[in-house]
Amino acid sequence: MLLETDGLTKRFGGITAVDGVDFALEAGELCSIIGPNGAGKTTFFNLLTGVLEPSDGRIRFDPAGGADSTGSNGSGSAGDDTALDITAASPDETALAGIHRSYQITNLFPTLSVLENVRVAAQASRGNDSWKLWRNVSDFEDHYAEATAILERIGLAAEAETVTQNLSHGEKRSLEVGVALAGDPDLLLLDEPTAGVSSEGVDEVVALIEDVAEDHSVMLIEHNMEVVMDISDRIAVLHRGELIADGPPEDVRGDETVQEAYLGGYGREESGRDGGSADGPAESDAATDGGRQVGARAGRRADLGGDRP
Ligand SMILES: Nc1ncnc2c1ncn2[C@@H]1O[C@H](COP(=O)(O)OP(=O)(O)OP(=O)(O)O)[C@@H](O)[C@H]1O
């Protein structure tokens, strides 16, 4: 197990934003967190990254156990000796432990170049030592090389010298993912990476998430249900701070409680149109919906393999 929460709770005065959540993530999973506005999704991310301290409960993170479990279907446990208790960790500490995050509202340096945004993140991800004035010049070269490789991966190599504020909204969201990738985290938390992105841009951001999920564990907050149903290995549903469902997309889509709390009929219509396929929307349906190719994530892995720097 890579990440485990046990009774995780956050209260703000009389509001319980996250309410006794028991959640676990296996290494290599892409798990989407969905739920209505105010369900507690961002608060959950804020707890996992140390932005907020829990009122109750515990968070454990086990990159070593997670690494061991890759390929063996999660034999490690966050209860093993290698697990870190990050319940009270600061954002710096969770980042150094291997949890990086992108934000709902863009969090880039607008006047720096695209390359500089990633290079600075690569430098910062090495911890405080990398800021020392007498640091080795080869550190700069390493950070530069890492940033360049990340730009290749996120499709922004041609924009390396562009001032960030001149990027399109979709490109900025991709760059956010690039910044989160710097320092090679074990777990990436992506907060609404497609928010505000045009339909053509959504395709690119989704392809990037799928690519990144090939060699990282990913948790994704996303309101676009087509994206969520398409790319998730698993979906966890929060409602009024409680985890009301947690399972594969087809199970969550068919869950009556989830339908009532959030989906409001989504997927029932899909089942009617595509003959009840459990693998998500049919290709023909998706082609009329923004032209985006859909299909089970596992089915696309072969296409994506080997393209990365
Ligand atoms: N710092 C805060 N102080 C007080 N209440 C807060 C704070 N942050 C969040 N809340 C409350 O906690 C609840 C959960 O909010 P949260 O932002 O986590 O929901 P969400 O599921 O991310 O919503 P959205 O989809 O709209 O982003 C809401 O009732 C919200 O008003």
42 within ligand 1 shell (Cβ under 6 A): yes
Q: Which mutation among 8, 16, 18, 41 tests ligand 1's pocket best, with the greatest number of atoms within 8 A of CB? A: 41
**Atom 18 of ligand 1 has which residue's CA nearest to it?**
40
15 within ligand 1 shell (Cβ under 6 A): yes
What ipTM does the predicted assembly reach? 0.97
Handedness of CA 35, 201, 26, 96 (dihedral sign): negative
What pLDDT was estimated at residue 66?
56
21 within ligand 1 shell (Cβ under 6 A): no
**Atom 5 of ligand 1 has which residue's CA nearest to it?**
12
Query: Rounded CA gap, 137 and 119, in Å?
Result: 14
38 within ligand 1 shell (Cβ under 6 A): yes
One digit per residue, pLDDT tens: the chain, 309 residues? 999 999 999 999 999 999 999 999 999 999 999 999 999 999 999 999 999 999 999 999 998 865 544 444 444 454 457 899 999 999 999 999 999 998 766 779 999 999 999 999 998 876 555 445 555 556 778 899 999 999 999 999 999 999 999 999 889 999 999 999 998 899 999 999 998 888 888 988 999 999 999 999 999 999 999 999 999 999 999 999 999 999 999 999 988 889 888 888 777 655 443 333 333 333 333 222 333 333 334 433 333 232 323
Handedness of CA 131, 101, 301, 170 (dihedral sign): negative
What pLDDT was estimated at residue 262?
84
Query: What residue type is 180 in one-letter code?
Result: A
Q: What is the strand order of the sheet 3-12 is part of?
A: 15-25, 3-12, 56-61, 84-85
What pLDDT was estimated at residue 296?
37
297 within ligand 1 shell (Cβ under 6 A): no
Query: Which structure tokens are listed for 107?
Result: 């969090």
Query: Rounded CA gap, 103 and 192, in Å?
Result: 8
pTM of the predicted structure, to 2 decimals:
0.81
Query: Rounded CA gap, 279 and 271, in Å?
Result: 10
Is residue 306 within 8 Å of residue 212, measured between CB atoms? Answer: no
Q: In the chain, where do the E strands start and end?
A: 3-12, 15-25, 30-34, 56-61, 84-85, 99-102, 187-191, 217-221, 234-239, 242-247
17 within ligand 1 shell (Cβ under 6 A): yes
Q: Which of 104, 101, 248 is nearest to 186 (CA)?
A: 101
